[in-house]
Amino acid sequence: MFNLLRKFFSNINAIIIAGLILRLVFILFGAKIYFGRENIFVDGDTWAWLTCMQNLFDHGTYTLDASHEYGYFVRTPGYGFFMGIFYFISGKNWDLAFPIIGWVQVFLDTISIWFIYQIALQLFNRQHKIAVVPAILYAFYPFAITWTPVVYSETSSLFFMLWGLYVLFCSKRNSKYFLSAALLSFSALTRPQLLPLLPFIMLYIFFSHDELKKRIQYVFLFGLGFLLIYGPWPLRNYINHQKVVITQDLRGLPNADEDWIAFTQYIYSVKTEFQPQFDQIIHNQNVDIPAIAFTDTEDSLKLIQVIDMAKNCASSFSHWSGYWNKPFKEPNCNQEVKSLFDELRTKQIQANPFHYYVTLPLLNLKKALFKYKLNDTSTMAKKIASLLFIGRTLLILLGIIGLYLMIRNKMALAEMYLILFYFLFIYLALCFGTGPQFRNIEIRYFLQVDVLLLLPAGYAISYFINKPKLV
């Protein structure tokens, strides 16, 4: 039996088929149980991409809300254009397009298993026995599988990222630098977390060649691909709307305008999560305020005042599900709420700088690396799924160990430094960053870099099992 399993898992075709079967089982049977809803294809953010694309088709402008100055930037357009292809294939029927997208993503994610294998084969000196391990890890990786049916950008971003890296690492043609940049740039247009990977790749390309002429030539080709694919997005934002928006700006969302963003910015200066305070606000309940938030009497009174305003006249809060009253846009007190939360945040940082710059980021990092359960464990399926986070932490640790071993053994040295720097940047930026959208620790925000860590994790597993002599 053991020999049969070993033979099965040493065959890349068998691994890919097993990964496909697992994804098919999930979309057919598991997704409804896991998500606890009949429509497994649509989730909370799906409508934002849909609306942006519908406005593009109907009115010629990619925007969520043309009447809002930030409505043009709420979502980068990559995934919206991906969705748009299937909108036309389905005869301009979104209800039909969504299931098609879900099924297509199942097959794209299956192809990603092959990309992982080919990349690993290149990095591990064509050693098949080691290269199949990252492929196995990805084939059974639950944090990728669970997103495959959902019309969200996670699956497509992974597919285009891995396709771009496959071209970069495995192709022998000089044109690979342009094509890789185009694929990776489109991936960054689907998930902004991938954008920092591109400058690291440019450094990787520069230091991977000895001749200065080749360094300049290949970096130029990569940069050209990036400018042609990603460049039009920020260029459009500046020329058409006089806004410097490199990725996206959530203020155009009805439930994430300046009042809500100011609240999250404030609460992240006090604690690592905005719950239960956020739910208490939208449900018009008494809000549990941590003792550290009361810096002095004047600020304490302002905090009580702004919380009351958030409950009653801040429009973003009214557009969240469960709000105690009817949603509204105007009249509102959004600007006043923003000003008060900004003022309280500034004073909070001044009063407790170590707490803000050190304690909270370290707690964020702990959560990012060692999260051990879902926030929602209302169903048995999600309680069981929570256990998978232990496996995620183990794989991250194995990835870090693998990075050390490969760098020590000078194996795929440049590629391992590329993954290492991207890993450090994403985790530190999201956990320690001070701008809007930072410090909001959702595990899906780390998905792309976690998948790249499967490559050195696979090496570490092979190393400890076989102690291979690698050259």
d(CA 378, CA 467): 43
pTM: 0.94
- How many Cβ atoms are within 10 Å of 323's Cβ, its own excluded? 17
Q: How many helices (DSSP H) and strands (DSSP E) are in the chain?
A: 24, 0
Q: Which position has the token pair 């709000």?
A: 323
- How many Cβ atoms are within 10 Å of 1's Cβ, its own excluded? 5
Q: Are 222 and 181 in contact (CB under 8 A)?
A: yes
Residues 67-79: tens digit of each pLDDT? 999 999 999 999 9
Q: Which residues of 407-427 are buried (b: 16+ CB within 10 A; e: fewer)?
A: eebebbeebbbbbbbbbebbb
CA 369 to chain centroid: 15
Beta strands in 153-250 (DSSP E): none
Residues 25-63: tens digit of each pLDDT? 999 999 999 898 899 999 989 999 999 999 999 999 999
Residues 261-318: tens digit of each pLDDT? 999 999 999 999 999 999 999 999 999 989 998 888 888 899 999 999 999 999 999 9
Residue 269 belongs to what H/E stretch? Answer: none
Mean residue pLDDT of the chain comes to 93
Cβ-based burial of 351 (10 A; exposed 0-12, middle 13-18, buried ≥19): middle
Residue 285 belongs to what H/E stretch? Answer: none
Q: Are 141 and 453 in contact (CB under 8 A)?
A: no
d(CA 168, CA 188): 16
Residues 358-416: tens digit of each pLDDT? 999 999 999 999 987 666 666 676 677 778 899 999 999 999 999 999 999 999 999 99
- How many Cβ atoms are within 10 Å of 240's Cβ, its own excluded? 11
